[in-house]
């Protein structure tokens, strides 16, 4: 491990996360500025810690020479959506972008993991401009609903405590919670148009109240 200069190694990954967060947040802003529904609700990102990278290298038997190509989630972006349909819309948007290339996709929504985990994973190749020229790195984009993200965050926290070996009762409760979470998403999708109409009404009303004409009435 000592051969890798970790601070230097992680610089392009950190740059990629920063750039991708800005780009996806601007994409959300573009939809809103056009008074359209944005399939993107929140965007977050992170670079794996050195300890986390080393642990995964040991667990997956990844050598230092193959680290850049075999560990796809050193740079990670998480996009949260309101509706399941938005997840697939975001995935389509990734495919038509010219500043990145989709390398791999894993649909854990249509095919959830045994634990109940649901999300849509997209691995992209993303170009970074450095002092030594362009390099292409891999980044993983996880796209999920707010409900899926809540479940995943709780499961991730418990995983640290139990190191993946959940007591049977906890395991069963997590599975039931995952199903309840997905049922919530399904119900929200059924009244999606009503929700969007209400949100649009709220946005228009807020804009009207902040208009110069309304402000002059106060």
CA atoms within 13 A on the CB side of 144: 25
User: Is-catalytic flag, 98?
Assistant: no
Spot the catalytic one: 140, 172, 187, 214: 140
CA distance 141 to 148: 15
Element spanning 120, H or E: strand 120-130
Neighbour count for residue 8 (Cβ, 10 Å): 8
Residue 70's contacts (CB-CB under 8 Å, 6 or more residues apart) are 60, 62
- Closest listed residue to residue 20, CA positions, set 87, 93, 117: 93
Element spanning 58, H or E: helix 50-60
Where residue 151 falls among pLDDT bands split at 50, 70, 90? very high
What's the predicted TM-score (pTM) here? 0.87
Residue ranges and CATH numbers for the domains of the chain are: 6-203 (3.30.460.10)
pLDDT tens digits, one per residue of 16-54: 999 999 999 999 999 999 989 999 999 999 999 999 999
- Closest listed residue to residue 52, CA positions, set 21, 78, 73: 73
CA distance 6 to 169: 40
pLDDT tens digits, one per residue of 92-145: 999 999 999 999 999 999 999 998 999 999 999 999 999 889 999 999 999 999
Rounded to the nearest 5°, which phi and psi values hold at 118?
Answer: -130, 135
Residue 175 in tokens: 């599975």
Please state the three-class secondary structure of 131-184 as a single string: CCEEEEEEEEEEEEEHHHHHHHHHHHHHHHHHCCCCCHHHHHHHHHHHHHHHHH
């Amino acid at each position: 491990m000592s051969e890798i200069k970790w601070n230097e190694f992680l610089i392009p990954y950190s740059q990629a996360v920063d750039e991708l967060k800005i780009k996806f947040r601007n994409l959300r802003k573009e939809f809103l500025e056009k008074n359209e529904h944005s399939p993107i609700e929140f965007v977050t990102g992170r670079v794996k810690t050195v300890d986390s990278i080393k642990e995964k290298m040991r667990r997956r038997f990844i050598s230092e020479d193959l680290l850049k190509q075999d560990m796809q989630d050193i740079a990670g972006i998480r996009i949260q959506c309101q509706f399941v349909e938005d997840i697939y819309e975001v995935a389509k948007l990734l495919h038509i972008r010219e500043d990145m290339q989709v390398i791999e996709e894993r649909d854990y929504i249509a095919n959830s993991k045994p634990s109940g985990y649901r999300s849509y994973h997209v691995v992209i190749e993303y170009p970074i401009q450095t002092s030594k020229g362009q390099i292409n790195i891999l980044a993983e984009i996880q796209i999920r609903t707010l409900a899926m993200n809540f479940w995943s965050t709780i499961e991730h926290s418990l995983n640290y405590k139990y190191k993946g070996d959940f007591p049977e009762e906890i395991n069963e409760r997590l599975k039931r919670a995952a199903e309840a979470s997905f049922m919530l998403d399904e119900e929200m999708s059924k009244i999606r148009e009503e929700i969007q109409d209400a949100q649009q009404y709220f946005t228009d009303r807020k804009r009207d109240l902040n208009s110069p004409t309304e402000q002059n009435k106060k």
